[in-house]
Structure 1
């Protein structure tokens, strides 16, 4: 295996012992580790195609990998023996596909390879008076290929949309090792089925995206201004969110923290919080001072402006603060309709109580996207077992509210086999048929995104 792969990518770019950091992603926080027989780091799309062809000929599983920042185990090789390829597993890391192939600021577009980081794209756009608004966590590490594979979101996707809204075309390697391009720099293209959309969010189970054409926008003419307001109850906070929606302003973000998350992070909140704060709403306007004033009015008494860098630095640390309460957590990314948000928030806490677990949530309120979290002591197997049962109930809650088991992280390995909870059998069969058609040998990221 190793000598064959070395002839494709060069000996120094085949890691024979598959170091641990290449066989896990951010789901390692939940104890998920995989195994691979080799890690390869191709430098070009043609090398990726050759690696895939070699694997497909020999029944070797292919696990694409970007920055490793995903939370669902999508970049973790199948951890359970017998669920990968019959002849082993190869991780295909895309770090070396890091070129910006073309950039046309005047036409608001950029073509990048899969290994270019989200931060690099955003910075190049910003330097030229443009914006790429997709902002998943760990932008300095996450790569555009991984963003596309998971259809990544983030706080600003409330106004600007998730990754799919910014992808006009992709270059990808499909089975059994064919390099294809669908879409491109053209902004409108309805010539065939939406293969760009199909590959976006496919979590590497249908092929490997090697490059993408992205659309950009002129940066907003007004500086973004975040505003925040604390409330004594969940219902009061959710009523304020609905008031924001009814205000006529389109905020760039609408975020929330419930009482548990707020308790963990309140000490470092810029300017402090009222003693009775049990719920926090954070919005941001990038459309002028009049809209900032409208948001302040919609949020009600106690709402105030914040310095953007300070506020968002604090918001980025919420997950760390929650983890620090007991040393660990099991967190999921359910989504519900906005008018059922309060039920999702209180339901998370109630599920935790039933299982003897502290629970909280925070997330992207405007999208109804909750990071529902059960706090754990590291190494406590009994607590972890309870949390795994609680998560099953959490998925049931989301579906009962008309929502989804995954708002932005994808299914990966951790949510395999759960899709049937929200889809009818005919839809599940269609989902499986797509996989079978594009990956007939089942070698692309086996075990992931299953129904």
Structure 2
């Protein structure tokens, strides 16, 4: 899987008659207004996502920006009547190619349905620890609005400034704080969504628990736009904590760092986050580390305690003591500015790794937490065997590795070789009883690897897809392997 190509028999952009794009544009303009339709698509950002090193860039018949859930329903209904595939799009921050049109079996005949105009103020009910937000609100704004109301939404993907809450639900996004608090699904009590037939439905609701139907909320959460378009999200929230205190320790070798992760798990405190960085990631991000890293730094562990000020300080002290053994450095920020500075550094690790060589190919593979050391060793072996530079960092508590091949993106031969090597990272996850994706999704990038899953599981997923989307218009060729021809 050196690169993702459109299917061989799918129509290419040159095969789409201009009058079809123009006709689609006129039809869609009657639904959402001429100002909110592009036909042809001229905004390049609507044709790609964050898979920049892989060079994924697609084509589309048109792009449409509905402003209300009712307009979304009308667009999807029109698409079904016309047999036009729909590629839903949030913030375009995904790493799996799931929102890149024109790269799947739909070819260039799809429309991009962007949810950015679904961005009203939403509603917060502080006394009930609940909030409802339109799908196009950024995750950063969800965090901000919650905190202003004294509430807390834990999932914190690294792209929070740009990703949208609807996309977070569609991919079941996570982040460092998912270890203690769970990924997005754990916080969702209800959804408003447009099903593939164009029906606007409410699933779940404001009640924190409901078993009156099948878990349709859970079905859409993580479905990557293949079962419908999420238009609104109802979240079960928590009171905002008084204090969050991270602790970071640096070690001279991986063994000491892995031991520290075990000590943190055994100390009796459940950290909000339990992160790791290997030597390659540390070297790439060393220049921006607050206060500088010690010589010989080869592994880092980052933990966080959260709660009332008294509890957070007690738990942070206990975690610091647990991971102190054999550490070259233990950093315990205590002021808000110091805490924010450390997390900004951690959030910037991915960009630092990109900057080191000019590009990277990362996989968010996941293994049982106790197999993390085996996975890291396997990534090292893969790099040595393939002659590529590898590194890993991620969410140790959840067993998620952002296992990465570093590459010069301007060297096409090296890029193709790196893509082949990166595919081997998926083999590591499956060999260690893990999974192909922990939080980024399957999309297009991992679709071929997903064909290795249990045939009965694949058949069950396909049955669900066929039942809800018999025309196959919703994000075809993503998440699920293509059906046999």
TM-score category, normalised to shorter length: over 0.9
Moved over 6 A (4+): none
Q: What is the SS of the residue equivalent to 1:267? A: helix
Specify the alignment match of 2:106 in structure 1.
Answer: 84
Specify the alignment match of 2:154 in structure 1.
Answer: 133
Specify the alignment match of 1:235 in structure 2.
Answer: 255
Q: What is the SS of the residue equivalent to 2:51? A: helix
Q: Which of 32, 35, 39 is matched with 1:12 structurally?
A: 35
User: Bigger CA drift: 135-144 or 157-166?
Assistant: 135-144
* Distance in 2 separating the partners of 1:397 and 1:143: 31
Specify the alignment match of 2:19 in structure 1.
Answer: none
Deviations 1:34-88 (A, max 9, x none): 11111101111110000001000111010111111111111111325xx117x92
Q: What is the SS of the residue equivalent to 1:262? A: helix
- Are 1:392 and 2:414 matched, yes or no? no
Q: Which of 170, 179, 182 is matched with 1:161 structurally?
A: 182
Specify the alignment match of 2:90 in structure 1.
Answer: 66
* Distance in 1 separating the partners of 2:157 and 2:455: 32
* Distance in 1 separating the partners of 2:418 and 2:98: 21
Deviations 1:157-190 (A, max 9, x none): 1111100011101011112211111101011101
Q: What is the SS of the residue equivalent to 2:447? A: coil
Q: Which of 26, 30, 33 is matched with 2:50 structurally?
A: 26
Q: Are the equivalent residues in 1 in contact too, given 2:365–2:400 (CA < 8 A)?
A: yes
Q: Are the equivalent residues in 2 in contact too, given 1:416–1:450 (CA < 8 A)?
A: yes
Q: Are the equivalent residues in 2 in contact too, given 1:78–1:413 (CA < 8 A)?
A: no
**1:239-278 paired onto structure 2 within 5 Å:** 239-278=259-298
CA apart distance, 1:387: 1.8
Specify the alignment match of 1:193 in structure 2.
Answer: 214
Specify the alignment match of 1:35 in structure 2.
Answer: 59
Q: What is the SS of the residue equivalent to 1:386? A: helix
Q: Are the equivalent residues in 2 in contact too, given 1:100–1:111 (CA < 8 A)?
A: no
Q: TM-score, normalised by structure 1?
A: 0.96
Specify the alignment match of 1:183 in structure 2.
Answer: 204
* Distance in 2 separating the partners of 1:282 and 1:69: 24
Specify the alignment match of 2:128 in structure 1.
Answer: 107
Q: What is the SS of the residue equivalent to 1:220? A: coil
The total of aligned residue pairs comes to 446
Q: What is the SS of the residue equivalent to 1:290? A: helix
Q: What is the SS of the residue equivalent to 1:28? A: coil
CA apart distance, 1:138: 2.1
CA apart distance, 1:379: 2.5
* Distance in 1 separating the partners of 2:350 and 2:451: 29
CA apart distance, 1:427: 0.9
Q: Are the equivalent residues in 1 in contact too, given 2:170–2:220 (CA < 8 A)?
A: yes
Specify the alignment match of 1:151 in structure 2.
Answer: 172
Deviations 1:86-117 (A, max 9, x none): x9211111111112342211111111111111
- Are 1:352 and 2:383 matched, yes or no? yes
* Distance in 1 separating the partners of 2:358 and 2:301: 26
- Are 1:303 and 2:330 matched, yes or no? yes
CA apart distance, 1:381: 2.2
CA apart distance, 1:405: 0.8
CA apart distance, 1:243: 0.8
Specify the alignment match of 2:365 in structure 1.
Answer: 334
CA apart distance, 1:232: 1.8
- Are 1:205 and 2:232 matched, yes or no? no
* Distance in 2 separating the partners of 1:246 and 1:384: 42
**1:356-435 paired onto structure 2 within 5 Å:** 356-421=387-452, 423-435=453-465
Q: Are the equivalent residues in 2 in contact too, given 1:164–1:200 (CA < 8 A)?
A: yes
Q: Are the equivalent residues in 2 in contact too, given 1:66–1:146 (CA < 8 A)?
A: yes
User: Bigger CA drift: 267-276 or 430-439?
Assistant: 267-276
* Distance in 2 separating the partners of 1:300 and 1:372: 26
Q: TM-score, normalised by structure 2?
A: 0.90
* Distance in 1 separating the partners of 2:120 and 2:319: 41
Q: Which of 263, 276, 283 is matched with 2:303 structurally?
A: 283
Q: Are the equivalent residues in 1 in contact too, given 2:429–2:436 (CA < 8 A)?
A: yes
Q: Are the equivalent residues in 2 in contact too, given 1:135–1:155 (CA < 8 A)?
A: yes
Q: What is the SS of the residue equivalent to 1:334? A: strand
CA apart distance, 1:317: 1.2
User: Bigger CA drift: 384-393 or 363-372?
Assistant: 384-393
Deviations 1:288-326 (A, max 9, x none): 222111111110244230221110111111111111111
* Distance in 2 separating the partners of 1:327 and 1:345: 23
